[in-house]
Structure 1
Amino acid sequence: MSFHARIAVAATMTLAIVGLAVGSSAGLAAEVAPTALATIQPAYVPSIPNPVVPTVTPTPGEAVAADAQPDDTIAYPTLAAAVAAQQTKGEMDDDLRCLAGAIYYESKGEPLAGQLAVAEVILNRADNGRFGSSICGVITQPGQFSFVRGGRIPSVDPSRPAWRTALAVAKVALDDAWESDASDALYFHARRAAPGWGRVKVASIGNHVFYR
C-alpha cells in the first residue's frame, strides 16, 4: 500500500471513530438528560401533632362541692332586706314551725332586731342542751314560755302579716343570715319586769332585755 493510500485509510478510520464517539455521546445525553432534569421530590417531614390536653370532667359530688360552698351565705345590706328575701309559702318542718310560733307569740309587734333576738335565745338554748334537746323542746319546756298550753304551741292563722314576718325572721335565724346583737343570749325578759337576775346583760332591744 502506498503512502497516500495509508493516509487515506487512516483518515477514513479517524472519521469513523469520531462518528461513533459523537453518536455514543448523543445517546448518553439523551438517556441522562431526563434523569438530570426530573422534578426533585421534596423530602417528607412528619408534622408535629398538637399537644393533647386531657379533659377532666368533675364527678357529680365535685360539681356540687364547687357550686355550693358552706361559705356561700348571701350578704344582705340590712336585716329588713334579709327578712324580705325569705319565702314564707310552702311546707315547713317542726323546727321552723316551732321557732316561728315562739317569735310570733313572744315578740310580734317588736322591731325585727327584737324578734331575731328572741329567736337567738331559743337557738342558743337548743345548742346548750340544758333547756331541751330540740327547738320545739326548748319552747315547750314547762315554765319557760307563757303562751304554751298543755305542752303545745297554739296554732296561728297563716294569713296574718305578723305570722309571715315571724316565719321569715325564723328562717333568717336558722340560716344565720344576720348577726344579732343578742347572738349569745340565753335569757330575756320584758323591760317592765325586774327579776333581779345576776346575769350579764348583752342587749336591750325594743321591749326586751337580753342576758347570757
Structure 2
Amino acid sequence: MTFSIRSAITVLAALSASSVAPAQVTQDAEPLIAAGSGVMPVPAVVQTLDNEMLTSPDPLAPLAKEDGDDSDQDNDTAKPSMDLASLVAQYRNDDPGSRERECLAVGIYFESKSEPLAGQLAVGEVIANRAHSGGRFPSSYCGVLFQRGQFSFVSGRSWPAIARSSRQWQNAVAIAQIVDQDLKDSAAPGALFFHAKRVSPHWRLTRVASIGNHVFYR
C-alpha cells in the first residue's frame, strides 16, 4: 500500500512537470528582428481618446474663415479718397518721368497754370480724353499737343521755355501724373474742348462745366 501511494505521487509529479515545460525554439525558427541589426523591439503604446480629443476640430480640415476675411474676393483697385490738393502735394515734382507725361504737363502748365487745381485737372483730362478718343484725335499726349491749330502756345514741334523749378510747373507735373494714372475724376467728365470765358466761339457742343476761367464741352 505504501509503495503504491509513493509510486502514484511520482507519476503525478512527472506528468505535472511535462505539462508546464516551455516550448523550445529550434534553429529553423525565423527571428522577429534580424540578428545584429541593433534594433530593439519597441513596446506598442495604446492611447485612448479623451473627451477633449473627440471634440477638437479635425487638424486636416480647412480652417474656417474668420469674420471680415475677404481674401478670396477680388480686390478692385479704388481711387484714392484724399482730396485733390493732397494728391498734388504727394506727387509734386519737377521731373515728369517720361516724354508723354511731359507733353501732358506742358499742356496743363501753359493752358491753366494760373487756374485752380480743379481747373488744371479738367484741362489735363481734355488732353487725355482726346488721346483716348479712338481715332478722333491723335492717340498720344504729345500727338494731341502738337496737332495743328489746337494749342496756341505750340510752335511746330516746340514750346516756350518753362521755369521747371517753379511751384506752377511742379503742380502741373503732379496733375499730369494724377490724370495719367486716373487717380481723380474731373469736374468736367468727358470734356474734349475748352475755351477761356473771355471769348465766345459759339460752339454747337454740349457744355459740361465751367471751372475757373474756362468753359468745358464735349
The code of the aligned residue for 1:99 comes to L
Secondary structure at the counterpart of residue 188 of structure 2:
coil
Quote the Cα distance in structure 2 between the aligned partners of 1:132 and 1:154.
Answer: 22
Q: C-alpha displacement at 1:89, in angstroms?
A: 5.3
User: Identity of counterpart residues, as a percentage?
Assistant: 44
Per the alignment, residue 20 of structure 1 pairs with: 10
Pairing 1:60-71 to 2, within 5 Å after superposition? 71=76
Quote the Cα distance in structure 1 between the aligned partners of 2:96 and 2:210.
Answer: 33
Contact preservation (8 Å) 1:142, 1:151: no
Q: Which moved more, 1:134-143 or 1:19-28?
A: 19-28
Query: How many residues in Structure 1 have an aligned counterpart in Structure 2?
Result: 176
Q: Which moved more, 1:114-123 or 1:17-26?
A: 17-26
Contact preservation (8 Å) 1:98, 1:153: no
Q: C-alpha displacement at 1:193, in angstroms?
A: 0.9
Task: Flag the structure with larger Rg.
Answer: 1
Quote the Cα distance in structure 2 between the aligned partners of 1:162 and 1:87.
Answer: 10
Per the alignment, residue 190 of structure 2 pairs with: 184
Contact preservation (8 Å) 1:141, 1:151: no
Per the alignment, residue 200 of structure 1 pairs with: 206
Quote the Cα distance in structure 1 between the aligned partners of 2:117 and 2:95.
Answer: 22
Q: Which moved more, 1:78-87 or 1:158-167?
A: 78-87
Contact preservation (8 Å) 2:79, 2:184: no
Secondary structure at the counterpart of residue 3 of structure 2:
helix
Question: RMSD in angstroms over aligned alpha carbons?
Answer: 3.0
Question: Unaligned stretches of 5+ in structure 2?
Answer: 23-41, 47-57, 62-70
User: Can you list the C-alpha shifts for 1:13-55, whole angstroms capped at 9, x where unaligned?
Assistant: 31232221342255247636xxxxxxxx97788xxxx9889xx
Per the alignment, residue 82 of structure 2 pairs with: 77
Per the alignment, residue 124 of structure 2 pairs with: 119
**Deviant stretches of 4+, over 3 Å:** 28-32, 41-45, 50-53
Quote the Cα distance in structure 2 between the aligned partners of 1:89 and 1:145.
Answer: 22
Q: Which moved more, 1:163-172 or 1:178-187?
A: 178-187
Q: Which moved more, 1:133-142 or 1:169-178?
A: 133-142
The yes-or-no answer on 1:170 pairing with 2:176 is: yes
Query: 1:139–1:75: structure 2 CA closer, same or farther, 3 Å change rule?
Result: same
Quote the Cα distance in structure 2 between the aligned partners of 1:148 and 1:76.
Answer: 35
User: Can you list the C-alpha shifts for 1:62-85, whole angstroms capped at 9, x where unaligned?
Assistant: xxxx9xx89434423211122222
- Give TM-score, length-normalised by structure 1: 0.72
Contact preservation (8 Å) 2:115, 2:212: yes
Question: Unaligned stretches of 5+ in structure 1?
Answer: 1-10, 33-40, 54-65
The code of the aligned residue for 1:159 comes to S
Pairing 1:136-175 to 2, within 5 Å after superposition? 136-175=142-181
Q: C-alpha displacement at 1:126, in angstroms?
A: 1.3
Q: C-alpha displacement at 1:175, in angstroms?
A: 0.4
Q: C-alpha displacement at 1:142, in angstroms?
A: 1.7
- Give TM-score, length-normalised by structure 2: 0.70
Specify which of 97, 102, 123 is matched with residue 97 of structure 1: 102
Contact preservation (8 Å) 1:114, 1:205: yes
